[in-house]
Amino acid sequence: MKQGIHPDYRPVVFQDANTGTAFLTRSTARSERSVEWEDGHRYPLVVVDVTSTSHPFWTGADRIVDTMGRVEKFERRYGRRVRRASEEG
């Protein structure tokens, strides 16, 4: 690697803003905040909106999606399509 052009890759604590869960990893992310970790050392703290502890895909939480009336809404907006005899095949 070329010297002097890469950002510092160092230990950083990421904290989930929703759950409060924190984990120590390595990153180039910068932060003015710091936190004392379980090992007694202080590390930069980066607060993020979503991590694996709060993301619906990883937690298994279902999202409620309104699917009722989608066809009716489409037909009201764009009109009902009529199939031609050549399309019925």
Q: Which amino acid is it at 23? A: F
- pLDDT of the residue at 64: 54
Give pLDDT, residue 44.
96
Please say whether the beta carbons of 46 and 14 come within 8 A: yes
What is the pTM for the complete model shown?
Answer: 0.60
Tens-digit pLDDT string for the chain (89 aa): 788 898 889 999 999 988 899 999 999 999 999 999 999 999 999 999 888 787 766 666 665 555 667 777 777 888 777 666 665 55
* φ, ψ (nearest 5 deg) of residue 55: -80, 130
pLDDT at position 2 is 84
**Residue in 24, 5, 4, 27 with CA at minimum distance from that of residue 14:** 24
